[in-house]
Amino acid sequence: MALIVHKYGGTSMGSAERIRNVAKRVAKWARAGHQMVVVPSAMSGETNRLLGLAKELAPSRTSDAYHRELDMLAATGEQASSALLAIALQAEGMASVSYAGWQVPIRTDNSYTKARIESIEDTRVRADLDAGRVVIVTGFQGVDAEGNITTLGRGGSDTSAVAVAAALKASECLIYTDVDGVYTTDPRVVPEARRLHTISFEEMLEMASMGSKVLQIRSVEFAGKYKVPLRVLSSFTAWDIDIKEEAKSGTLITFEEDEHMEQAIVSGIAFNRDEAKISVLGVPDTPGIAYQILGAVADANIDVDVIIQNVSKDGKTDFSFTVNRGDYARAIEILKERVIPKLGAHEVTGDAKICKVSIVGIGMRSHVGIASKMFRCLSEEGINIQMISTSEIKTSVVIDEKYMELAVRALHKAFDLEQVPA
């Protein structure tokens, strides 16, 4: 008998019929002898609907008081889906109880709409499990030290599930979603993309931070920190498929490198269209320049990704970096107004039509020539590389957005990702 956490996304909880299916699946696991904790998202569309109503009433509020009410509001989505699931389980003849975040409690800091989990009390949940009940814990929400309801950011139910699994030392956390696992790349771009049976947690972290939307990145960080075995799998298989088969399906996110059975050097290709490039030209090459440019951008709460500073010529240098496309206009404005005049830099230029394509694989640690293989592949396609950044297990390039699909397809092929490695 094991303690298992299931998490169901909004699509899986999308209607009474689907909730009934979730209940049947969970009941199957409980009847197989497992202690079950389930963390549901709100029914699909519900969080957007609620936040949309708030926006209608107050289009541009930013105060803390307003954000507090947003959390109060958005948290109801998960409260409803959790209660409905408990009701459906009871109707299946399973004893079941649901708890809102504050009832567990799941304690968070007080940053409304993007709170971080600080601790989870397990006494109440354990007592129910020991009494033979299936416990449903709302995703996405917690409570701060003053008793205010908080939420964890969009997609936060993934993080709730992993955190609950960590607190209860669950044997595995299964994330049921509308795709059947993690793929070598987005199958909409490369139809030959292959589902990975396993991926290391570090690779998953790189994939998630670079646009693979399967898991909220914070949930992956959490899983890494607390070593929670995580599996991403489909909730659209028949609920009564053989439980042993189901337990092996999807993609397992592993921690042991030698458990990484597939042994491919590159495991996946990630891409992100959501970036823009900014260059500050002709800045004096003196101490504090990077700080003055990027500090001003960071003060505006704008995240910076790839950064390049050129070698200087005649005491001047060029400085380029990428930001989220949504922050592009504001970043340019800040630089023009505050940084350029102070630094006496030449000009600010930018390009919002770029994208970032990355190859990810822990095998890159122990193999040389992987990056150059990537560059050769892109050059054979005639694709110009504008920026490059690397980490131990990833190489990213910034290229013109219009070549993104071509680049992803060519790289997927060059690294034999359609093939299952022998």
User: Out of Mg ion, ligand ASP, none, which partner does residue 47 contact, by CB within 5 to 8 A per kind?
Assistant: ligand ASP
Binding-site member from 108, 157, 386, 396 for ligand ASP (CB under 6 A): 157
How far apart (Å, rounded) are the C-alpha atoms in residues 99 and 103?
6
Distances (CA, A) of 208 to 202, 269, 381: 10, 11, 27
Does residue 187 have a cis peptide bond before it, meaning omega lies within 30 degrees of 0?
no
**Would you count residue 19 as binding ligand ASP (CB under 6 A)?**
no
**Would you count residue 22 as binding ligand ASP (CB under 6 A)?**
no
Q: Scanning the structure block, which residue is given the tokens 């599930």?
A: 161
Site residues for Mg ion, 7-26, by CB under 5 A, read 9
Of the pair 71, 144, the CB lying nearest ligand ASP is at: 71
Binding segment for ligand ASP (CB under 6 A), chosen from 150-158, 199-207, 350-358, 405-413, is 150-158
**Would you count residue 139 as binding ligand ASP (CB under 6 A)?**
yes
How many angstroms from the chain centroid is the CA of residue 20?
A: 27
User: Out of Mg ion, ligand ASP, none, which partner does residue 386 contact, by CB within 5 to 8 A per kind?
Assistant: none
Binding segment for ligand ASP (CB under 6 A), chosen from 89-97, 154-162, 243-251, 407-415, is 154-162
- Print burial letters for 130-156: b (CB count within 10 Å at least 16), e (below 16): eeebbbbbbbbbbbbeeebbbbbeebb
Site residues for Mg ion, 148-167, by CB under 5 A, read 155
**Would you count residue 77 as binding Mg ion (CB under 5 A)?**
no
| Alpha helix segments (H runs only) across 58-103 | 64-91
Burial of 368 (0-12, 13-18, 19+ CB in 10 A): exposed
Closest distance to Mg ion from the beta carbon of 11 (Å): 9
Count interface residues toward Mg ion (CB under 5 A). Answer: 2
Classified as helix, coil or strand, 370 is: helix
**Would you count residue 140 as binding ligand ASP (CB under 6 A)?**
yes
202 to 231: interface string for ligand ASP, x by CB under 6 A: ------------------------------
Among 243, 27, 32, 42, which Cα is nearest to 133's?
27
Closest distance to ligand ASP from the beta carbon of 140 (Å): 4
Q: Scanning the structure block, which residue is given the tokens 């042991």?
A: 256
User: Out of Mg ion, ligand ASP, none, which partner does residue 77 contact, by CB within 5 to 8 A per kind?
Assistant: ligand ASP
35 to 54: interface string for ligand ASP, x by CB under 6 A: ------xx----x-------
**Would you count residue 150 as binding ligand ASP (CB under 6 A)?**
no
| Alpha helix segments (H runs only) across 138-288 | 157-167, 201-209, 217-226, 243-248
How far apart (Å, rounded) are the C-alpha atoms in residues 130 and 70?
35
How far apart (Å, rounded) are the C-alpha atoms in residues 38 and 23?
10
Closest distance to ligand ASP from the beta carbon of 237 (Å): 21
How far apart (Å, rounded) are the C-alpha atoms in residues 207 and 202?
9
Binding-site member from 14, 101, 142, 155 for ligand ASP (CB under 6 A): 155
**Would you count residue 21 as binding ligand ASP (CB under 6 A)?**
no
Binding-site member from 4, 6, 8, 10 for ligand ASP (CB under 6 A): 10
Count interface residues toward ligand ASP (CB under 6 A). Answer: 12
User: Out of ligand ASP, Mg ion, none, which partner does residue 181 contact, by CB within 5 to 8 A per kind?
Assistant: none
Q: Check: CB of residue 148 under 8 Å from CB of residue 68.
A: yes
Adjacency order of strands within the sheet including 347-351: 304-309, 316-324, 275-284, 347-351
Interface positions with Mg ion (CB under 5 A): 9, 155
Interface positions with ligand ASP (CB under 6 A): 10, 41-42, 47, 77, 139-140, 154-158
